[in-house]
Structure 1
Amino acid sequence: MWEKLNSKQKETYRKLITNFASLSEAFAQKEDESTNAIIAPIINSKYQETSFKNAFNATIEDIGNSSYDASINNGENSKYLVGIKAFGVKSGFQKIAQFKSSSQYENWDSIISGIKERSDNGKSKQDTRDYLKLAKRIAELRNKRINSSKSQLQGFDYTQDVASVYHVLMPSNTIKCPREGDEPYIMVGETSYLPIDISKIKILGPTNKKHLQNFRFTDGNHVYQYNSADSQLLMSFHANFNNKEEDNESIGVEKWSVKYIENAFEFFLNLPSVNISKSKNHVIQSFTFPIKTNRRSGFNEWFAGPKNPIRERNKKYLDLVKSGEAIFGVQSDWKKNIDFVLFGKFNSDTDKIKREDVRHRITEKSKPYKELFKKVVVALWRGEKPYEVYIPVPNAHKFNTKNPNFFADNAGILNGKKLESPVSKRTFTLQFLPSGEEMDMVLTQADGKAIQSVNSQYKFGKWVLKNIFQLNDWELLTDKVLDDLNINAMTFKKYDDGRPITLEFTYVDYQNLPNTFWQ
């Protein structure tokens, strides 16, 4: 990426970073003021992101669940998704992901305990198999998050060449006993940002025999380390990890010298006093909705029963029974199961789950037979495509009563449970962040509990289910899936400058909820 970026923009970025770093002596103290030690240049991560954004016209992806930090459009057919890092040139492994929820839910500690109990220092064949099992699961979760984040950045329809890279700024170490010519510097580094190649994972073993719970593995592209205590995945940014003498400069693409201001404190004291007007973000309302995973509704609406159930003994029913019995035989349980699903009485949730289990068996049985499978999904499901979804509005009656104009003027006005305004007045444009793509949506259903696409419901549903939530066809969205992806909420924002309402998938900490949270 670096070599393809505009040279003037790179120079702007260099000045922003090195000018800030030139003030490092105001932020750090020498261990011994009597020495001539040269301290390490300071890089502030937030300032780094802001400088990157301003220099390259980048979009900063600052939502908590994104695997990327920024994106750059570098021409009509070129886009970069960027992970931004800062660490010293001599630094070791760097954190790239955390899997606290998944590790607890799936009890990864039991695998580690087995390795410890064998007392083979993590070197036996069984130890290696256990490490490999855990490494593959970590890789699977890591890859799902990367793919989900990439889909949010790419949007529904994308033709651009999208590449992913890590962009790194690496300050030199403190030089305690400087020699003539020594000076502080910042190395610009770049390395590939890739999913983990699960088929090529090789276990390198525990970090040491006293910490068997922490182990390393490689996929041939990068070397990773898993730390059990905090469920963190770390990565080595060395270009060649096997070379023990090598440091992070091996990924360097440019080197910037840093000149420290002689008296940084005097610089700050003599800054002119100016009145800076705060820029307006134009957000006038913001709500964060939790993502609900109820069966048969919302993002699982496709799982519900058919909109127009078959009537007993009508032509479609007889054709479905006849087609199945022609394949499986009259003596099979085909008709019995079809009758159970179509005409049984299901009052409790337990009864409904039993019905759905039978429906699943019928569907799986029919899959090898294309025409029969089509008849089954039309008769027993919502349709051939399992992508019919809507965005649920939590506590919808109260929300629309308090905020009838949020989605569109008078869109949420209710008469009892019924929305009063016609469909045309409840239709609005929704912009999906961070891709910026837009789709016409409508507020609908009783109490205004649903937001669904107007013309391309399957297009939206397929993108959300397969690309964002990383589900297979006919797979339910569950809380476990959301935990794995580090997504559990959606944030809607309304603006006063004419732009559409925006939506971005995000993550909220239920122990520290944002003030925009609505449930």
Structure 2
Amino acid sequence: MINFFELDKKENKNYVKLIQIVSKLSRLYSGSSSPYIYYRAMENLFCFCFNAKNLSRSDTAFDAKIDNIGIGLKTFLGENKNYSFEKIAEFNKNSSMIREKTDDKDLTEFLANLRNERIKLAKDIYGISRAQYHIIVRRKNLLLFFETDYDEIDISNLRIEKEKGCKSEKSLDFTDGNHLYKFNFSKSTLFRKFDIPKNCNTAEAVIFENPAKLLLSIDEIGYDKISIEEEQKLEYVILPLYTVKNNIKIVQERSALNQWNASGRKRDPNEVYIAIPSLVRKHFPNFFPERDTPFILKTPLGEILNAKVSQDNNKALMTNPNKALSSWLLRDVLKLKEFELASIDKMEFLGIDSVIVTKEKEDEYSIDIQSWGSYEKFAEKLNADEI
């Protein structure tokens, strides 16, 4: 397991120093005597300092990746206890499935499977074989850094600990012999108990009472006196893996992901395409090359697919051979066998329902999965921009 505090110290990566600087700005957000670190700031600084791939945008089980190691990043307050229950998964989109479980034992196993399948999915998509958490605990004048395991839940050893509260607010506590978990019904959220070791690496946390002066001093430095590397803002679109019929998400049985099941001629089990909705085509008319013009499409593991847009009005994203897209999307992501229909239930269980396509440069794109509801949020923003 990598100790990132010691790695930072050994290789002068400035990670701890940058976290301390962020802590100095705590008064911008909080009046607490404990430092405030926005979790996105921690993610971005971690990835910047350790040259990690930032996975937070895809909203999968891991926040970052270094080589074949998946990293979960967490920061939380820990003033008076040597442990904290922290959120590790949200199952809002699975709430209907959860409500169907009337037996607590069945529910516990279902929750464990949901959690484990999402970990396995992220491992498969990003080529991760090992995993760990990196955690910063915030206390008055102090930052604690430590690592702990990122294990799947041991389903063979599940035991219910206790159940309390009324039906609308109750929580279910269970253990797998390694960790204690708490599921909150009202928020459909799974928590894990994180024990804070006594031998943590520590760093001083100083909070500026007037951080505005520090911000003004940054402006007074002048851009001509510091080197600023502007990060290129990459254009992207989010494409749904479903359609909507009577206000219900469905996966068409004879087109798109199930194009291989279309009637007529004999079909190959790997025939598939991703639909490009009219809303996306309207707002991003020049995002993709012209119809049937080949371009590179890279998967999260760096596999190179030869892609193109096709069909009338450029409404389909395909690869050549078609098997390349089905191999990644149907086999690796959705874990479907040949001639097995893709379904909305399967995607709901995995917590995904769309993909993001990013334009890295001319004629070169990347593709990744997106969490359930991502296209809806994307479409809402596009529609709002028209108002």
Q: Please say if 1:281 is aligned against 2:232.
A: yes
Q: Please say if 1:513 is aligned against 2:379.
A: yes
- Match for residue 304 of structure 1? 262
SS at match of 1:146: helix
- Is 1:65–1:487's contact at 8 Å kept on the other side of the alignment? no
Distance 1:200 1:13 in 2: 38
- Match for residue 431 of structure 1? 298
Distance 1:165 1:290, change over 3 A: same
Q: Please say if 1:467 is aligned against 2:332.
A: yes
Q: Please say if 1:393 is aligned against 2:276.
A: yes
- Is 1:206–1:212's contact at 8 Å kept on the other side of the alignment? no
Larger gyration radius, structure 1 or structure 2: 1
- Is 1:206–1:216's contact at 8 Å kept on the other side of the alignment? yes
SS at match of 1:92: strand
- Is 1:185–1:257's contact at 8 Å kept on the other side of the alignment? yes
With normalisation by structure 1, the TM-score equals 0.62
- Match for residue 186 of structure 2? 229
With normalisation by structure 2, the TM-score equals 0.81
Post-superposition shift, 1:299?
A: 1.1
Match of 1:503 among 336, 352, 367: 367
Match of 2:116 among 137, 140, 143: 143
Over the matched positions of the two proteins, sequence identity in percent amounts to 26
- Match for residue 15 of structure 2? 13
Name the structure where strand makes up a greater proportion of residues: 2
SS at match of 2:331: helix
SS at match of 2:194: coil
- Is 1:147–1:467's contact at 8 Å kept on the other side of the alignment? no
Post-superposition shift, 1:294?
A: 0.6
- Match for residue 258 of structure 1? 205
Structure 2 portions without partners, runs of 5+: 243-250
- Match for residue 89 of structure 2? 97
How far does the alpha carbon of each residue in 1:321-361 deviate from its partner, in whole angstroms, 9 at most, with x for none? Answer: xxxxxxxxxxxxxxxxxxxxxxxxxxxxxxxxxxxxxxxxx
How far does the alpha carbon of each residue in 1:231-266 deviate from its partner, in whole angstroms, 9 at most, with x for none? Answer: 11111112xxxxxxxxx235x652223345687565
State how 1:75-474 maps to structure 2 within 5 Å.
79-89=68-78, 90=81, 92-104=84-96, 106=97, 108=99, 111=102, 130-154=103-127, 162-172=129-139, 174=140, 184-207=141-164, 213-238=170-195, 248-249=196-197, 253-260=200-207, 266-268=213-215, 270-274=217-221, 276=223, 279-283=230-234, 285-292=235-242, 293-305=251-263, 307-308=265-266, 382-383=267-268, 386-395=269-278, 399=281, 403=285, 405-408=286-289, 411-412=290-291, 426-432=293-299, 434-455=300-321, 457-474=322-339
- Is 1:287–1:516's contact at 8 Å kept on the other side of the alignment? no
Distance 1:472 1:187, change over 3 A: farther
Distance 2:213 2:296 in 1: 52
- Is 2:58–2:368's contact at 8 Å kept on the other side of the alignment? no
Structure 1 portions without partners, runs of 5+: 31-38, 74-78, 112-129, 155-160, 175-183, 239-247, 309-381, 413-422
- Is 2:131–2:149's contact at 8 Å kept on the other side of the alignment? yes
Q: Please say if 1:46 is aligned against 2:35.
A: no
Match of 1:485 among 350, 353, 360: 350
Distance 2:203 2:283 in 1: 58
- Is 1:81–1:165's contact at 8 Å kept on the other side of the alignment? yes
Distance 2:146 2:380 in 1: 35
